[in-house]
Homo-oligomer: A and B are copies of this chain.
């Protein structure tokens, strides 16, 4: 099979390509070709036996998406996005990439496939930023979505487009609302959520980390490992089970920052946990205060999506996957 990954140079895109290269198959079909696209040229995954086409492209340029889908991939992962902090700082860029980019992809699929028997599976990474405003402590599956950021608005508009184009038969759509990914490897990014990873990642690497919010802040998280599992599962599940709601809240773990720090201390000791320094940032505090703390993800759980149940498992996933299993 042929698989296209948009946003392949991002953290999840790279890990997904590596997983597909490692497995060599998906749902029993061999992975023959990987088309990897991002705003910078993505790296080919090490050890991939098939053909990897790595390309740079601006997804919001007219024509880019048409060229991407001309080879008619069986499966498309659309992970490309401007993150929350940047989409809030640069309104036009956020709408251009997060809304127009998604729409151009879906329209390119429609125009390439309509009436010609090509109907790919499209897995779209949405976000819990679609929730916003006042909501209960645990947000029900059927709760109204009133995002309070431009990023959340754009992701929700992408979900709606995906659902409409799936309903009209142009594609098989699966939208997955990812929890905040923790622990993200690499450097801090411009997402307002960056510190949730930083306070685990930096201390484990022997570095100080800044905590810009209070320890009572509660949030919905999952590991990169689980997130890749969601993407793989979304690509292979029986599409008929989604009915008329192809967008799903993914399972996660509801933890406070204090519980994160306690888990880090339990796994890595006082010295490591002592590297976290609180330095409040009112802008980040205000953004984070509006975020979901816990979701009912029972639909996705019933469909077989799974995530960690304890934050120590999330810390260990980072140590195993990024640090070779060793602390300090």
Chain A positions within 8 Å of B, measured between CB atoms, are 91, 110, 132-134, 141-148, 150, 153, 156-157, 160-161, 163-164, 167-168, 243-245
Q: In the complex, what's the smallest C-beta–C-beta distance from A128 to chain B, in angstroms?
A: 14
A146 touching B244 in the complex, CB below 8 Å, given contacts A157-B157, A163-B153? yes
Least Cβ distance of A210 to chain B in Å?
27
| Contacting pair B160 A147 (CB below 8 A) | yes
Known: A146-B244, A157-B160. 13 other contacts (CB 8 A): A91-B110, A91-B168, A142-B144, A143-B143, A143-B144, A144-B145, A146-B163, A147-B160, A153-B163, A153-B164, A156-B160, A157-B157, A157-B161
Residues of B within 8 A of A161 (CB): 153, 157
Cβ of A134: which chain B residues have Cβ within 8 Å of it? Answer: 244
Closest to A100 in B: B103
Q: Which residues of B have CB within 8 Å of A150?
A: 164, 168
Q: How far is the CB of A150 from chain B (nearest CB, A)?
A: 5
Given contacts A132-B244, A157-B157, A160-B156, contact A142 B143 (CB under 8 A): yes
Q: How far is the CA of A26 from the CA of B196 in the complex (A)?
A: 50
Most buried by B among A147, A157, A243, A245: A157
Please measure, in the bound complex, the distance between the C-alpha atom of A133 and the C-alpha atom of B167, giving whole angstroms. Answer: 11
CB distance from A227 to the nearest CB of B (A): 23
Name the B residues within 8 Å of A145 (CB-CB). Answer: 144-145
Closest to A111 in B: B92
**Shortest Cβ distance from A150 into B: residue:** B164
Q: Across the A-B interface, give the 6 residue pairs with the lowest CB-CB distance, nearest first.
A: A153-B164, A133-B244, A142-B144, A157-B157, A153-B160, A146-B245
A153–B168 alpha-carbon span in the complex (Å)? 12
> Given the complex, which residues of B lie within 8 Å of A160, measured CB to CB?
147, 153, 156-157
Q: Which of A110, A134, A145, A146 has the most CB of B within 10 A?
A: A146
Q: What are the residues of chain B within 8 A of A163 when measuring CB–CB?
A: 146-147, 153
What residues of B have a CB within 8 angstroms of the CB of A243 in the complex? 133
C-alpha spacing A142/B143, complex, angstroms: 6
CB distance from A18 to the nearest CB of B (A): 34
- On chain B, the residues within 8 Å of A91 by CB distance are 110, 168
Bound-state Cα–Cα, A168 to B110, Å: 33
- In this complex, what residue of B is CB-closest to A114? B91
- Chain B, Cβ-Cβ closest to A161: B153
A244-B144 CB under 8 A given contacts A91-B168, A161-B153, A163-B153: no
- Name which of A142, A156, A245 has the most chain B CB atoms within 10 A of its CB: A142
**Which residues from chain B contact A142 at a C-beta distance below 8 Å?**
143-144
With A and B bound together, what is the CA distance between A131 and B164 in angstroms?
13
Complex CA gap A150/B157 in Å reads 13
